[in-house]
Amino acid sequence: MRLTDTGDLWWKTAVVYCLDIETFMDFNDDGVGDFEGLAHRIDYLAELGVTCLWLMPFYPTPGRDDGYDIIDFYGVDSRLGHHGDLVEVLRTAKDRGMRVIADLVVNHTSDQHPWFKASRSSRDNPFRDFYVWRDEIPKGAPTNVFPDKEDGVWQLDEKTGQYYLHNFYHHQPDINLANPKVRDEIAKVIGYWMELGFSGFRVDAVPFLQQDGDPGVDPHELLRSLRKYLTRRAGDSVLLGEVNLPFEEQYEYFGGEASDELTMQFDFVGMQNLYLSLARQDARPLADSLRERPVLAQESQWANFVRNHDELTLDKLTEAERMEVFEAFAPDEGMRVFDRGIRRRLPTMLAGDPRHVRMVYSLLFSLPGTPVIFYGEEIGMGENLEQPGRLAVRTPMQWNSAANGGFSRARSRRLVAPVTPDGFGPAHVNAADQRTDPDSLLAFFEKLIRRYRASVEIGWGELTIIDAGVDCVLVHAIQGTEGSMIAVHNFSSDPQVIDFALPNGMGSNAELVELLRDGGVVADEKGRVSLALEAFDHRWLRVHSTDDKRLS
């Protein structure tokens, strides 16, 4: 088995773990998670195999949008600790071989930010141009990101008689990115956190860098300048972008062949087609999206995910396709949000079937790219639908079966959020029980991560979709300079038998060694392989020629 350090391109084979500090671990028992609690759980993450922590916003905030409404880009929310506690987390993570990235929210601030308070004080205030103001609402204004909460993207400020832009909530005014002084401030923020030890940033809501009614903002030029600045500070830093757009537009945000904008992007198109495939028990929608993925430069990478901290958006599917997924996994209106997404976690959507859940996560780690995990996925946490909107999936981490799931010893009414109710609550789903169970989902994640880290080609190799002759089975090959593998995933609740040909270059009579179980199979003289699959089966097969018996 070979684990690799990819140096400056470490993120090509990383395992990214996203967490919200306030719901991860409460160390001082005030009901709110904190940096000290996270520091005491770094070893758990290291044992899991995490190599990069993504911290959701930890900045001072009024708390009207779960931390994405920021009042100080240089500060630390006092509920979570102070700068010294944060630095201790960074040091501890580094000691365990983990890097840390932070959310970079440069679209907007809170309306309580000192910039905006000054901006709205008068039309001639020096900070007025830090935001986007208009005398009238421009024609053809776009729909707000939260159509069920906001009527539009322009809000009248009665004191100054002008409208300010807010693509998100009205209490989150958009920053004027066309202003060079604003860009300088963003660079200072990046430089500040890099000096403290961060390895990069997850860039929030990238498409909204192009602001309504302001053609002077070129988001690509902005990203190129940020990437250059970041690279000068640390050549191995990363910009992971949230870009929910069609593939051809996403490719532009990588910088195309130049690869000089975002380092990584989430594959939203692939994620949405994954759920369509799950709903239909038909692998073809996902296979088609994988074929349509643009081929990236070596310095770029796709970030794969099953679930994130927002709603599970389905906006890139057709209306009919979206309704298929809704009917399969969110049959009740209360499980849906914004008419485009689902506010549930994977295990509850799949009725807790461990075979089905494991097949999906096996697929996640075998797809070419870098896997991103949302906290609690590794133990199969559910959601709390009694919480509003996106908060349904942002419940406290379930560490053990004790009160509050071991997240905090505070009284339950003091918790920052209520724990997941019974069924998927701490009594049934928690890390402590699973750490001692070799057949648990947590143990399965640990195995997947070990195999993923040993299979360098997943991050670096070339993808080939193989026709298995059965619509419900996805077979894909990844070929790299240091090895090749075949992954097989049955989306059906019925057993299947498949027969397929190995791609060119893998040879006849090749031996395929199982990576997730014992055994293997040998291709025939024509390079064909036959496999019998159980319901929701998943197989990883390392390809060896007959004269190379080494284990990967």
- Indicate if 242 belongs to the active site: yes
Give the Cα separation of 355 and 220 in Å (integer): 43
Query: From the candidates 22, 26, 204, 537, which is the catalytic residue?
Result: 204
Show the tokens assigned to 548: 């190379």
Give the Cα separation of 304 and 370 in Å (integer): 6
Amino acid at 112: Q
Under 8 Å between Cβ of 512 and 520? yes
Show the tokens assigned to 39: 């520091």
- Indicate if 34 belongs to the active site: no
Show the tokens assigned to 365: 């780690």
- DSSP per residue, 230-254: HHHH-TT-EEEE---S-HHHHHHHH
Looking only at the bridges linking them, the beta strands covering 200-203 and 264-266 are unpaired
Compute, in degrees rounded to 10, the torsion defined by CA atoms 437, 442, 446, 449: 160
Give the Cα separation of 3 and 73 in Å (integer): 37
Burial class (CB in 10 A: 0-12, 13-18, 19+), 257: exposed
State the DSSP code for 12.
G
Query: From the candidates 22, 242, 261, 321, which is the catalytic residue?
Result: 242
What are the Cα distances from residue 213, in Å, to 109, 122, 138?
Answer: 19, 22, 7
Question: What are the residue numbers of the active site?
Answer: 204, 242
